Structure 1
Amino acid sequence: VPLQDVWGRDAGRAEDRLRAAASWDERFAIARDILGRRMDARPPVDPEVAHVWRRTLASRGRVRVDGVADEVGWSRKRLWSRFRSQLGITPKRAAQLVRFDHAAHLLAAGHCAAGVAAESGYADQSHLNREIKAFAGLTPTAVAEAPWLAIDDVAWPASASVSSPARHP
């Protein structure tokens, strides 16, 4: 999606400021300022939604939506609605993505696909294969060799270990 579709007129102003900057340091300062102001302007996330997100990360995506809905005192339907409106995806999709991320890192660490499927909560290896294909468009072998997995060591050096359940804020 083009930035203008998301930010409207602000996108053009941001592009103009970034183009006029004389250095990369100045561009990064401008980007930090723009993103900071947008983050400050957004409505806060419901504590219940934040709790469900933290539980999803801590469980590496192996969380039942009904169970976390009960934990926060909401119906499944309300949880799905609030989660989706605030994070842009359903709790189930979030769990699938977190589980995929964990599995991809295990594959990159050299674990075999069958073992990764079992450890990551997939029903079997073919279930793992289908989800990896759906998310990445690749086979488990190709995901294991994907250069984009190496970015984590640069972006989140303190959490480069595969055993860390929460690499993202």
Structure 2
Amino acid sequence: MSAKGEDGSNHHSPGLGQFEMMRCAPGLGLHGAVTDICFYRETAPGYFRDVEYASLTVPLVISFAEPFSIGLGKDPSDNDRFASFAAGLYAGPVVIESYGGACCVQVNFTPLGARRFFGLPMSELTDRMVGLDDVLGLEGIALRERLGNARDWSARFAIVEAFVAERLAEARETQAEIAWAYERIIASGGRIRVSSLADRLGWSRKHLLGKFSNAIGVGPKTLSRIVRFNRALGHSKRDKSDWADIAADCGYADQAHLVREFRDLAGETPTTLAVQA
């Protein structure tokens, strides 16, 4: 399966020549709702393992071949096999395995875009994979059939982009207060206090938590953790600052706090991730 599109926070192990992957930027009509659309096909038998770290991407995967084995925060078991599905936010590492027979289209949504597209509380997708027919019903089944019968990837891109654009055009906008709170968390790098958001909205923290979790899938505090983590990970890849400086810049109490968060959200220490990058 393709990597998380918004953050690039993953480690993919297949060798060259064993898979094909193409990323396409969505048209302007999907701006802010979809980060990218990916096409992935494995071309040779083998063991494929991908670890995706906590991110702000909500994927919709439409498979035409063998399912993936997916474990949330653990190696997948024989019962953890998924073909076409949607997955909500998860504050931890996701382990994905396949064996050379996978082929799929993946649409990577922002949390706000996913709320509009699926038209259901994102809390229903949090920490789980939900089958295509359960999230999109007969429309999803018909979409998969059309994509499977398309002549090539260009045709599939046109089909899936038009389908997503149509649903978004017909969807209700996310409650303005929730969209504002979400954007403030992103803009602050996850450093704004939840109490400050609640005060600005004139809401209690409990009311904000309930509304936010329903719309986004996680509460504002958890979202802030994911934002800080990805900001720190990005810093580590771009410059040679030591981890203490990165921790201070990204709003962690100290380096030990940063290490704990990396273990929770990526399943690895900062040093290990830096070596893998």
The answer to whether residue 270 in structure 2 is matched with residue 140 in structure 1 is: yes
Matched letter for residue 139 of structure 1: T
Change (3 A) 1:39 1:146: farther
Contact 1:108–1:145, Cα closer than 8 Å, also in 2: no
Contact 1:56–1:63, Cα closer than 8 Å, also in 2: yes
Secondary structure, in 3 states, of the residue corresponding to 1:129? helix
Change (3 A) 1:94 1:119: same
Secondary structure, in 3 states, of the residue corresponding to 1:8? helix
Change (3 A) 1:142 1:31: farther
Instruction: Determine the C-alpha separation between the residues in 2 that align with 1:70 and 1:146.
Output: 41
Question: Which residue matches 2:196?
Answer: 67
How far off its partner does 1:107 sit?
1.2
Question: Which residue matches 1:84?
Answer: 213
Question: Which residue matches 1:114?
Answer: 244
Instruction: Determine the C-alpha separation between the residues in 2 that align with 1:144 and 1:56.
Output: 25
The answer to whether residue 143 in structure 2 is matched with residue 23 in structure 1 is: no
Question: Which residue matches 2:133?
Answer: 4
Matched letter for residue 248 of structure 2: A
- Provide Cα deviations, 1:149-169, integer angstroms capped at 9, x if missing partner: xxxxxxxxxxxxxxxxxxxxx
More helix by share: 1
The answer to whether residue 206 in structure 2 is matched with residue 96 in structure 1 is: no
Change (3 A) 1:79 1:137: same
Question: Which residue matches 2:186?
Answer: 57
Contact 1:108–1:144, Cα closer than 8 Å, also in 2: yes
The answer to whether residue 251 in structure 2 is matched with residue 130 in structure 1 is: no
Instruction: Determine the C-alpha separation between the residues in 1 that align with 2:201 and 2:276.
Output: 37
Matched letter for residue 68 of structure 1: L
Matched letter for residue 122 of structure 1: Y
Matched letter for residue 263 of structure 2: K
Q: TM-score, normalised by structure 1?
A: 0.80
How far off its partner does 1:146 sit?
4.4
Instruction: Determine the C-alpha separation between the residues in 2 that align with 1:130 and 1:3.
Output: 35
Matched letter for residue 220 of structure 2: P
2:172 aligned to which of 43, 54, 76? 43
Contact 1:66–1:76, Cα closer than 8 Å, also in 2: yes
Q: Which has the higher contact order (CA 8 A, sep 6+)?
A: 2
Matched letter for residue 45 of structure 1: T
More strand by share: 2
Contact 1:56–1:62, Cα closer than 8 Å, also in 2: yes
Percent sequence identity over matched residues? 38
Instruction: Determine the C-alpha separation between the residues in 2 that align with 1:64 and 1:49.
Output: 15
How far off its partner does 1:135 sit?
0.9
Residue ranges of structure 2 left out of the alignment (5+ in a row): 1-128
Change (3 A) 1:118 1:111: same
How far off its partner does 1:27 sit?
0.4
Residue ranges of structure 1 left out of the alignment (5+ in a row): 148-169
- Report the RMSD for the aligned CA atoms in angstroms: 1.6
